[in-house]
């Protein structure tokens, strides 16, 4: 059992708890990335965590009756480093395991550094995570690395490329890495308006694009 799956109130060995700021003592997080709620629970309750589509652990925390999803690794990093991540900062998992949220596995990066790390093409473990096997194979054959833009031919927009653009621009990892439509356009050698039109389904409607 992973630590985050352990919902026993008894502390794990060497476990340390700290209040999560901005929640007035309603929530605590431990150095093993477990979350405890004191809302309606005098002795606390270990909360269930869930994974998003990219494998990152997420939890919903409530304040003033409104819930907001929070990334566990962000909460862990901010709480135990007594800081607040800036808009251009993010937390990288050193071992590439997005659910391994121990402090030693974290590295603070700028968003651009994080994008560069994940834009390394098919040798990276996140290569084509949201693409079909057919699309990934075509991109290998065309020598276009996911998020890399290397050897990007300025050719007409082929059907396989439309599918790839749709899948990439609508995938959750794009939001996580904060990759812009302009960067996707550069990768495929097309105009920015083309990316927007494909993403929203305004053009190429006859192609069934599955994420």
Query: Which domains are seen in the chain, by residue range?
Result: 3-110 (3.90.75.20), 118-200 (no CATH)
Which tops the pLDDT comparison, 56 or 120?
A: 56
User: Tens digit of pLDDT for each residue in 147-156?
Assistant: 333 333 333 5
Element (H, E) at 147: none
Which tops the pLDDT comparison, 190 or 140?
A: 190
User: Tens digit of pLDDT for each residue in 41-55?
Assistant: 888 999 999 998 778
Indicate if the pLDDT at residue 170 is higher than 50: yes
Which tops the pLDDT comparison, 183 or 142?
A: 183
Helix ranges restricted to H, 36-132: 72-80, 111-117
Helix ranges restricted to H, the chain: 72-80, 111-117, 133-141, 159-169, 172-177, 181-188, 192-200
Q: What's the rounded mean pLDDT across residues 71-87?
A: 94
pLDDT of residue 122: 46
Which residues are within 8 A (CB) of 55 and not within 5 positions of it... i.e. 6 or more apart? 97, 98, 99
- Residue 167 phi/psi, 5-degree rounding, is -65, -45
Mean pLDDT over each residue of the chain, to the nearest integer: 78
Give 27's strand partners.
37
Indicate if the pLDDT at residue 175 is higher than 50: yes
Indicate if the pLDDT at residue 96 is higher than 60: yes
User: Tens digit of pLDDT for each residue in 180-193?
Assistant: 777 777 777 777 77
């Amino acid at each position: 059992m992973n630590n985050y799956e352990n919902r026993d109130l008894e502390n794990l060995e060497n476990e340390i708890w700290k209040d999560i700021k901005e929640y007035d003592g309603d929530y605590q997080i431990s150095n093993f990335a477990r979350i405890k709620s004191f809302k309606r629970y005098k002795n606390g309750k270990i909360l269930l965590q869930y994974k998003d589509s990219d494998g990152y652990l997420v939890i919903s925390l409530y304040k003033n009756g409104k819930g907001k999803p929070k990334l566990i690794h962000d909460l862990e990093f901010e709480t135990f480093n007594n800081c607040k991540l800036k808009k251009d900062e993010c937390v990288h998992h050193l071992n590439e395991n997005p659910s391994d949220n121990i402090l030693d596995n974290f590295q603070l990066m700028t968003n651009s550094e994080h994008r560069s790390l994940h834009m390394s093409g098919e040798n990276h473990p996140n290569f084509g995570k949201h693409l079909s096997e057919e699309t990934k194979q075509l991109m290998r054959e065309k020598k276009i690395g996911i998020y890399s833009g290397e050897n990007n031919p300025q050719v007409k927009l082929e059907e396989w490329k439309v599918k790839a653009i749709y899948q990439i621009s609508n995938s959750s990892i794009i939001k996580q890495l904060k990759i812009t439509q302009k960067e996707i356009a550069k990768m495929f050698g097309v105009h920015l308006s083309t990316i927007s039109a494909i993403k929203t389904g305004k053009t190429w409607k006859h192609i069934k694009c599955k994420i």
